Structure 1
Amino acid sequence: MCVENTPPPSSRLTRRGILAGAAALAGTTAALSAVAPRTAAAAERSGARAGSTGRATTGDLVVEGGTLLDPATGEVTEDAVVVIVDGVVRAAGARSRTQIPSGVEKLDARGRWILPGLVDAHIHLNTAAEARDAVRQGATSARSGSTNFYQDIAVRELARQVPQLAPQLKAAGVFVTPDLGDTILADPDLTPLAKLKDGVRSAEALRRVVEVNLARGADVVKTRVNERAGLPEQDPLAQVYSREQLSEIVSAARRGGKGVLCHSYSEKGCHDAVMAGVRSVEHGAFIGEQTLQEMKRRGTYFTPTLAAMAGMVDSPDPVLAERGRTFLAAAKERALAAHRLGVPLASGTDSSGGKIKPIGREVELMREAGLPALDAIRTATTGAAKLIGLDGKAGRLAPGYAGDVVLVDGDPLADVKVLKSPTAVVRSGVAI
């Protein structure tokens, strides 16, 4: 059975609809009440611009006295200054060579290291509280791994209006998966798919979900080739979509100018996803050498989500605990193999369900896998920023980049663990 031959859904995305979605996010009222006074005070102190409509809350701030690390070059600058004006970096470098504007709030970074805000390339943000927690743990930019009811699109708008409440986000909308479950109710244009006995598998059905996502404003498309690892009753090596089906998804996304991230574990699944043209392989615990070689040739990214697998190790369910141990060891080995081959890597926590993991934990696991410290840091800065389309805007502290900063106690090149617990976070020029 196919989906009815109905026209694509409207691409009209109204401000009212987006803001209504943001307001409907679970936990929004509590999150706003908890941080609004602090954000407003910080904005007032820093000379922030806070328009009642349209313009985001941004700030002017000078971060001074710390040791600045540029992940792009590896350059380390002591007694550094970062000048942020209207939420954007205007200057960054040694104090002796940087003009510091007068009358601007200063953040004392002496004794600390200064890094750009980190990038979580795979996260599920379903509530405003989760979005706020991600920022507080250093993830000032992120890419969604999908949500059930387009919450990520609302989070993206929340970040545009009040950056201190959410990461700069690339939204994926709803998951393109055989069984949509209650997600069928996320949009009236998805409800015709309920007629399908075999789920979302036909070319028409696959295109339909992609079209609805793009019409609702998704920046990327998320799909899968294997079942889930986090559910003991599922076999994460079982394949749910063929290469041909994945190609339909990729083609539909490309017609809208978007890329695809694909949940994959098995070697065949990963290979089919890469050959179908996905932008990034997610998880990839058992990805093979041939597939990695093809990824290098195509520039396909690998997002291993090691923190998600590590999280299963302590599960009270023996199936999940054993799966976590096996998958984590395999994924670490594959991440190192990918790095040695020159496959681009990105860090992603795969956080969801109210438990937001610090992106620094993923960097720590990349380091444990064998990546040099600077390269592990790049997976959550320059590398991840390029993957999610924020190259030139995130991942560095240089003129024109977002005024997003993390301060840490200690040298991350000596011990990347310090990235798990930032001592301060600046989002769009406002310390939070």
Structure 2
Amino acid sequence: MSGAVPSLPTRGDAVLVGLHLIDGVDPAPRGGLALVIEEGRIARITTPDDAVRGAARVIDLDGAFVMPGLINMHTHFSLSLPGAGGDVVSGLSPHELSLYMADGARRTLLSGVTTVRCVAEKGGADFALRRAIAAGHVPGPRIYTAGRALCCTGGHGFDGDDTLECDGADAFARGVRSQVKAGADLIKLMISGGIAGEHEEITTPQLTREEMAAAISTAHAWGRKVTAHAGPAAIIAEAVQLGLDCVEHGYELTPEVARLMAAHGTALVPTLVVTRASAFFDDLGVPAWMQQRSLGAGPRHMASYRHALDAGVEVLLGSDMPPFWDFEGTSAVVRELEHMQAGGLAAPDAVRAATAAPARWLGADGELGTLTPGRWADLVVTPGDPTTDVTALRDLDLVMKGGVVVRDDQGRARGAFA
């Protein structure tokens, strides 16, 4: 090699043939088509004969299914739960933490997640990581981030620098502005207790109406949506009436509050896997009190999710656990989708909850979430049909981001030239 060594490619060109296309618009796969990718984006969808004419690089997928890359709406690259595993992460220096998060981003991309929404990260490292990925310095998914979540003094997550303690309406307004100043794409509030707080309960309300109103109105004035860590129905109802855009977890929804969410267009990221994560907790040495609280909340959590489905609430994929974690025979993100399907979401709707619907919530549906002309060529390839059963995503063959192949288990992209 002579000359300068380039950064990682962030845009590529290719023609994909021999595929069944799940474009994120039509619920059923379509055959007999080809994708033409130019400068990282879908240029056109056409016939194979037309696509290969003059093409420099043709990848034959041999009948596999192609769908948009997964969008994980609840991710923490700097997650540190109570216990020995979390203590290791909490003890990392800023430099070590950045490298740790970069490795998590790489593994997340290889698991088929091409876009993430980070909902509380330590030390501002998420902003640096976002820039590094965009520049091609390190591999990883596209990042939308809330920066630090806002909590009350002693509130959920207060004991890490992935949160910012605020008290009173003025302080919450300033907190929102501080995260916007840092580069946040959205704002996250901790409005109740949760699983990981030793001295609280899931049902503990933690923000006043005035604090929530100030944060939500300030964020909206700055063009940012607001999501909230939330468990109990009453505090969720109050926040929804104030304009909350999304609920994380929603452990204890009622049919009435679910209907209120649907009426206001408030989405739900259920993170069902977090109350079914015994093996993950064992891996991290999570203490017994947290395991008992989490696993004990599982049945009510699933009932809450079903209330949301019955009410027509838009549900979005989010794992909370590291998306790539080796968990129950697959990755955590796929296991979450399997729980969503098992809980009553039809497979085509589960695919939409992992692709087009999150892109729309992020305001990025002109860029992401569907395999249609003009969108980024972020996609995954599986031998089975995920619109029949999302378990097909356990067998990823190929992952592409921006037209660049980042994973190729079958070697289909090697030597793929016309």
| Same topology, TM > 0.5 | yes
Q: Distance in 2 between matches of 1:116 and 1:225?
A: 33
RMSD across aligned C-alpha pairs, in angstroms? 2.6
What's the CA shift for 1:257?
A: 1.1
Instruction: Choose from 99, 108, 113 the match for 2:60.
Output: 108
Amino acid at match of 2:358: A
Matched, 1:350 2:320: yes
Matched, 1:178 2:178: no
Tell me, yes or no, if the aligned pair for 2:151 and 2:189 is still in contact at 8 Å: yes
Per the alignment, residue 18 of structure 2 pairs with 65
Tell me, yes or no, if the aligned pair for 2:324 and 2:332 is still in contact at 8 Å: no
Matched, 1:280 2:246: yes
Q: Distance in 1 between matches of 2:276 and 2:256?
A: 26
Which has more strand, going by share of residues? Answer: 2
What's the CA shift for 1:305?
A: 0.9
State the secondary structure of the residue aligned to 1:329. helix
Matched, 1:376 2:346: no
For structure 1, the residue ranges without an aligned partner over 5 or more in a row are: 1-39, 41-49, 191-198
For structure 2, the residue ranges without an aligned partner over 5 or more in a row are: 79-100, 407-418
Percent identity between matched residues is 26
Tell me, yes or no, if the aligned pair for 2:114 and 2:401 is still in contact at 8 Å: yes
Please report the TM-score for the alignment, with normalisation by the length of structure 2.
Answer: 0.81
Instruction: Choose from 387, 393, 400 the match for 1:426.
Output: 400
Q: 1:232-257: per-residue Cα shift (whole Å, max 9, x none)?
A: 55312111112221111111211211
Instruction: Choose from 339, 354, 358 the match for 2:309.
Output: 339
Matched, 1:262 2:236: no
What's the CA shift for 1:138?
A: 0.9
State the secondary structure of the residue aligned to 1:346. coil
What's the CA shift for 1:123?
A: 0.6
State the secondary structure of the residue aligned to 2:297. helix
Amino acid at match of 1:221: I
What's the CA shift for 1:93?
A: 5.1
What's the CA shift for 1:344?
A: 1.1
What's the CA shift for 1:77?
A: 1.3
Matched, 1:402 2:396: no
- Alpha-carbon distance change, 200 to 376 in structure 1, aligned in 2, over 3 angstroms: same
Per the alignment, residue 414 of structure 2 pairs with none
Q: Distance in 2 between matches of 1:221 and 1:137?
A: 26
Q: Distance in 1 between matches of 2:18 and 2:323?
A: 38
Tell me, yes or no, if the aligned pair for 1:125 and 1:352 is still in contact at 8 Å: yes
Tell me, yes or no, if the aligned pair for 2:231 and 2:251 is still in contact at 8 Å: yes
Per the alignment, residue 218 of structure 1 pairs with 184
Per the alignment, residue 242 of structure 1 pairs with 208
Per the alignment, residue 295 of structure 2 pairs with 325
Instruction: Choose from 143, 148, 167 the match for 2:141.
Output: 167
Per the alignment, residue 34 of structure 2 pairs with 81
State the secondary structure of the residue aligned to 2:62. coil
Q: Distance in 2 between matches of 1:422 and 1:411?
A: 11
Per the alignment, residue 75 of structure 2 pairs with 123
Runs of 4+ in 1 over 6 A off after TM superposition: none
- Alpha-carbon distance change, 339 to 392 in structure 1, aligned in 2, over 3 angstroms: farther
Instruction: Choose from 259, 275, 295 the match for 1:293.
Output: 259
Instruction: Choose from 192, 197, 209 the match for 2:175.
Output: 209
Please report the TM-score for the alignment, with normalisation by the length of structure 1.
Answer: 0.79
- Alpha-carbon distance change, 249 to 89 in structure 1, aligned in 2, over 3 angstroms: same
